[in-house]
Structure 1
Amino acid sequence: MSEQQDINVARAAKLDTATLSDALDKHGIAGQCYRIKARGEGFATAGRAYTLLYGPASNPPGTVGDYIDDVPPGSILVLDNGGRDNATVWGDILTEIAHRRGIAGTVIDGVCRDVALCRQLGYPVFSKDHWMRTGKDRVQVEATNVVVNIGDARVQPGDILRGDADGVVVIPREHEAAVLDTAEQIEHAENAIREAVRGGMRLDEARRQFRYHQLQTKGA
């Protein structure tokens, strides 16, 4: 991975998901992960995707989670369980190992369990919900580091993910520089608008002056 790409992860970490979402809209990219939310107060993360695709268990069933030792530190685990809410693919053993190995977080299109430990350790997990029923003998890993779907957003291995209290966004690798540039411009404009309004300017005037709507509109 290049130094510039490492810098881009750090840039993403400084921006909130709402600002990044607006920048994605500006570029016509559907990178917002629908209904994927933090499982703990204050959870936030940024990193590059290490993806896993799940499917229904075969007979005999395959494994649900024996990949963890191969995941590079700093990665975000991205688990596509097809949105299933009746079987989990993440629990306390994986949380403990991921936390110890310096993995940046886990994002799941589906549900997790054992949320008490991830909250205790401060290990950020984002999913559609949490429930206790195991995925063992119900689902299995079908493929690793392939294109997956998380909350209707396409995720490729190496894409940047950013998660915070508002949810998770995906920034495709091939567009990350442009999206981050736009997001930083939006953040700068929002800060300038706040300062102008505090100084007595009308909000509509401040938004016009700092071209706020153009920054968020595709093609503008």
Structure 2
Amino acid sequence: MTFPGPAVPVGHVEPCPRRVRARLGGRIVVDTTGARYLWEHPWYPRWLIPADDVDPDALAADPGHRRHDDGSLALTWTAFDAWFEEDEEVRVHPRSPYVRVDALRSRRRVRVELDGVVLAESDAPVLLFETGLPTRAYLDPTAVDASLLEPSATVTACPYKGVTSRYWSVRTPAGRYDDLAWSYDHPAAAVARIAGLVAFYDERVDVVVDGVRQERPRTHMA
């Protein structure tokens, strides 16, 4: 199965009901309740900001900002120190109004294998359902064979889940596989149940759920 299926067509624009702000150099330089979402590709939107709601000095700091056809601004995300929806910081990109993320406790039995080696097995996973991505099983560390894991310096961030605390590569008799597993110590409140648990890229391992081997999904994530 290939993920994700786009929720809206590329080029779609719609109002954003949230107050959007950006900070640069210790100052709020973007502050608007008139932002709009623009989908330039299927996975997530960017914001279009009314030009009057942007400090002109902030525009001069980065030549990558673009003016949209209607005069609003498509600002370079990384040109600012932090972005906020209302009073909560948003990382990586705006949250799509068409993405839902749920972390649910489950009694399904999940086994994770690679090269015929069992990496983890649990009958008490937390299943994370995120629109447009495969279901991820988050497992208690005690259910994971730590002898097969090697710490990695990789860090990733997600606007829906937060910033990872750890990544691991996996070594089996067949070889080493970089950055296959990760964990969040302090995930976003909406998915607090995954705190301290370990997940694997289903795209790169073999997952068996209740005795049924799952097809490896294809995504832009791995």
TM-score interval (norm. to shorter): under 0.3
Q: Which has the higher strand share?
A: 2
TM-score between both structures, scaled by the size of structure 1:
0.24
Higher relative contact order (CA 8 A, sep 6+): 1
Normalising by structure 2, we get a TM-score of 0.24
The structure with the largest helix share of the pair is: 1
The structure with more radius of gyration: 2
